[in-house]
Amino acid sequence: MIDRLLSLKRGRKQVLMLAGDLALVMVALCAAYSLRYNRFYLPFGDEIYLWILAPILAIPVFIRFGLYQTIIRYIGFNSLWRVFQAISLYALLWGVLAFLSGIQITPRSVVIINWLVCLLLISGARMVARWVLTAKAPGFLGAERDERKNVLIYGAGAAGMQLAISTSYSDEMRPVGFVDDDPVLMNQQVNGIRVYHPDELGRLIDEFAIKEILLAMPSANQASRQKILLSLAHFPVLVQTLPDISELESCEVNLEDVRDIDIADLLEREPIAPIDELLQANIRDKVVMVTGAGGSIGSELCRQVSQLGARRLILFEHSEFNLYRMERELSETNLRFTSVLGSVMDRELLTTVCHEHKVETIYHAAAYKHVPLVESNASAGAANNVLGTCNCARAAIDAGVETFVLISTDKAVRPTNVMGATKRLAELVLQDLSHNAKTQTRFTMVRFGNVLDSSGSVVPLFRDQISQGGPVTVTHPEIIRYFMTIREATQLVLQAGAMGEGGDVFVLDMGEPVKIVGLARKMIQLSGLTVREERNPEGDIEIAFTGLRAGEKLFEELLVTESAVSTRHQRIMRENEIGVTLGGLDEMLRKLEIAIAERNESEVRQLLFSMVESYNAMPAQKAG
C-alpha cells in the first residue's frame, strides 16, 4: 500500500491530502463542541450551516498557504510553520463569521478549542504520514536502511537542520553528526543528532567511515565558505554543498538542493556590488549586438544584457548549435532579440545588420582563443581575431555605432603565442582607428585572464579527466594563472566599457594568481579521491606533467606598461598606453590578408612578429 501511495502522481497525492484535511477540519469542529459541552455533539437546525462553512473557509486558506505544495516525506519546520499560520487564520475567520452570523450563540471557548484540535490533527497527521511513508523500520522497507552511507553535515543552523531531516529519510544517506564551531551548540543535539567541533573531523571520518560531507551554510560569506572548503580538502571525502542563499528557490532546504562543489567555490572572491550607472550605461533602452553570442563570454554577456533593459539584443554567432541554444534560453525572458547566423569575416553582413537594427553598442566577443589550436592554425587565428575585429570595427564606424567594446586577454601582453599576438594586434587596430579615423564610435578594450568553466579553461578538462579516472594533466609544476568567474568578468566588462573615452585599454583586477597543480590537487580531493604520488602510491588519481606547449608562459601579465591608473571601480584599472598607433595600418593588414588567403603560415607569423613589437614566440618545452 505504501508503494502504491508513493507511485501516485503528484496531483492525486494532493487530492488525497485535501480530502484528508476536509475530514480533519470537520472532526476538529465536532471535537471542539463535544469537549465544550462534555458530551458527543452534532449540529442541529441552522447551526449546520456553521459546520458547512468550516471546510469552505479552510481549504482556500490552506491552498493559499501552500500546504499542498510540500512533499510530505521532506516536511520540516518551515512547512509546519505554514500549517500553523493557515490553521490560525482559518480558525479566526470561522470564529468571526460564527459570531456575526446570528445563527446561534457560539461559545468563545469553542473557537479556541477548534483551533487547538485542528492544529493538532492536521500537523500531527502530516508528521505521522511522513513517518509512515519514509521510515525504514521493520515492517516497512527496513532492509535498505542498513546499506545507507554515513554523512556529516557541516553547519547546525536552520539549513543544516532541514537538510538533516531531508537526508535522514533518504534511501542513500544517514546523517550521523553535525559539525559546527558555535560554542553554544557544542556537544548539544539538534534534531536528535550530536554537534561536533571541526577539530574532531579526522576522528569522526575514521570512526563513522564517512565518505561524504554536506556543507549546509548557504548564508555564509565567500571567505568563510572558502576557509571551510580548504580545510575539508585535506580529507579523502566527497564534499557537496547547498548553493548560496540567493540561488535557493525557496526558504525550505531539501536534499535535491545539494550540488557538487564547484572549483569556483574555492576561487571566487567576495563579490563587490556593481555600479548600476556604469552597468546600464551602454545597454538600457539601447540596441545591443554581441558577436560570438553563443560562446562562454558572449552567452553570459547576453544573459546580463537581457536583465538590464536593452531595447533589443542582436545575437551574432557563426555556430548554428550555439545560436539555437541561446535562442531557447532567451525565449524564456521578455527580451526582444534577433538571431543572426554569420561570421565576423563577412563585413557586408555586419554592416547590414548594424544599419538595419540601428545598433548602438557592440560587445565583440567572437574570437579563437584556444592557444595550442591557434598556434597550429595561425592563418585561421589571424583571420578571425584580427581581420574579423577590423571588419566589426569598420562596420560599427559605417553604421555610426556609439560604443564598441573588445573582449581582450592577458595573453595579449608581451605575447609568446599566435593567439596572444592576434589579440594584441586587434587592440592596436582599434586604437589606431580610434585616433586616426573620423568616427564618433568609442572603441574600448577590456583585458582579463582565465574565466572559470569557459570553453578554453582547464577546469572542465580537469573535471572530465577526474571522472574518467585520470591522469590529470598539467603542463608544468610551476605554472600559474589568474582566474575569475564568468559572471564577475562579464559585469566588469560592462562597467569598463561605459568608462571608455576612445582607444582605452582597461584591465581587470584578477585577484591572486592560482598555481595550476594546486588547483588540480584540490579538485581531486574535493571529489572524494586522493592524489597518487610518491608519498601515496595507492592514491586514486595521478597528476601528470606534460611540458609547456608552444607559446605557453609560466605566468601571464595584464599590463603592457608599468603603470596603470585607477577608475571609479576598484577592480577596474585603465592602462596608461593611450596614443599607441600603427603607421601604414591598411597596407600591413592587406599583406596579412594576402598571406592568410594563401595559407602562408610562416608569412602570417612573420607579419604578426613585425606588427606586434613585443611578440616573442616560445617553442614547446618537454616535461621535466
Which residues are marked as active site? 411
Q: What is the DSSP string of 417-437?
A: SHHHHHHHHHHHHHHHHHHHS
Element (H, E) at 365: none
Look-up of cell digits 573620423: 438
> Is the Cα dihedral 540, 545, 549, 554 positive or negative?
positive
Residue type, 96: V
SS3 sequence, 208-229? CCCCEEEECCCCCCHHHHHHHH
Q: Residue 142 gets which letter from DSSP?
A: G
Hey, what's the cell of 528?
Answer: 572524494
Strand-strand pairing, 361-364 and 403-409 = parallel
Residue among 288, 331, 293, 327 at smallest CA distance from 308? 288
Rounded-to-10 torsion of CA 483, 484, 490, 493:
-60
Which residues are registered as beta bridge partners of 364? 291, 406
Q: How far apart are CA 294 and CA 313, in angstroms?
A: 13
Query: Which triple of cell numbers denotes residue 224?
Result: 568563510
Q: What number of helices (H) and strands (E) belong to the chain?
A: 22, 23
Residue-wise DSSP of 475-524: S-TT-EE-EE-HHHHHHHHHHHHHH--SSEEEEE---S-EEHHHHHHHHH
